[in-house]
Amino acid sequence: MEVVAQNRSFDGRQTVYRHGSEACGCDMTFAVYLPPQAESGPVPVLWYLSGLTCTHENAMTKGGFQEHAAMHGLALVFPDTSPRGPEVADDEAYDLGQGAGFYVNAKRDPWKPHYRMYDYITEELRGLVAGLDGIGERHGITGHSMGGHGALTLAMRNPHLYDSLSAFAPIAHPTRSDWGRKQLSAYLGDDEGCWALHDSTLLMEERGWKEDILVDQGASDQFLELLQPEALAEAMTRRRQSGVLRMQHGYDHSYFFVNSFAGDHVAWHAARLA
């Protein structure tokens, strides 16, 4: 892997890497924060999956996670949201194509050759991160918006890979939302039975999660109708799933919202990954 940048942060080390991805068939970039505790031995890891239009950089620079991670001794991983490059298929719309991988393995052209973010996150990048010095064996996952959708679906489908789970304003019911139906049909085809594996509300009803879940949602989020947090809350209730979904008064969908509750989420994961 090529080191693109490295900076000191809260006595830890924030590094950006680039590597050739076999899963996505192009170069991919991701970031890892190692807290100062990693100098003495392996530490638990919290993955953060970003939302539409984001790269690894958005949460790394605007999320405010490093200070809290240094306090609690957690490593952070910030993947990109899609494959990128001139050879990678794209769309004029912001919510499809580059920057909008939706954490699925595409089955339709022109997306199929590169858009394999499910395998990239759960297999290829997982293996690369595990090989870094200071990375421990216990992993948690969180994310925002499209990344919240990714965190919930990847964890419920792979409980052996993750030991804690949370989300910020996730796209909670994509099979019944314009943020979902458009992308799932483009990437996966018209068989809606295949879509269910990428819908956290449906996965909650079918499988649930092995531990408790933390979800924060801004009550003034301008995209509430697309996110449908009430569907996930109802599914958690029907399943009797341990966890809490908090509606945060006055908060919108921006990184001001994420930054405001980043400390809560890092502390929450640290307690469960210890």
Beta bridge partners of residue 100, listed in sequence order: 97
Q: Which residues pair with 19 in a beta bridge?
A: 28
Residue that the structure tokens 């022109």 belong to: 110
* Cβ atoms 261, 217 nearer than 8 A: no
| pLDDT given for residue 65 in this prediction | 98
How confident is the model at residue 137, as a pLDDT?
A: 97
Structure tokens at 143: 């994310």
The pLDDT of 45-50, averaged and rounded, is: 98
Per-residue pLDDT reduced to its tens digit, 133-164: 999 999 999 999 999 999 999 999 999 999 99
pLDDT number for residue 160: 98
Neighbours of 252 (CB within 10 A): 16
So what's the pLDDT on residue 153? 98
To the nearest whole percent, how much of the chain has pLDDT over 70?
A: 100
What would the two tokens of residue 218 be? 């801004």
Both tokens assigned to 175: 């099979």
- Region 187-201: mean pLDDT is 96
The average confidence (pLDDT) of the chain is 98
Nearest residue to 173 (alpha-carbon basis) of 145, 191, 199? 199
What pLDDT, on the 0 to 100 scale, is given for residue 260?
98
Q: What distance lies between CA 257 and its chain's CA centroid?
A: 16
Task: Tell me the C-alpha distance between 101 and 56, whole Å.
Answer: 13
Query: CATH classification of 2-273 is 3.40.50.1820, yes or no?
Result: yes
Task: Answer whether 74's CB lies under 8 Å from 268's CB.
Answer: no
User: Beta 213-218 vs 75-78: how paired, if at all?
Assistant: unpaired
Nearest to 138 by CA among 13, 31, 269, 11: 269
Domain spans of the chain, in order of start:
2-273
Name the DSSP class of 198.
G
DSSP state of 119: H
In tens, the pLDDT along 251-269 reads 999 999 999 999 999 999 9
pTM of the complete model beyond 0.75: yes
- Provide the annotated active-site residues: 145, 221, 253
Convert the pLDDT of each residue in 213-230 to its tens digit: 999 999 999 999 999 999
Give the per-residue pLDDT at 133.
96
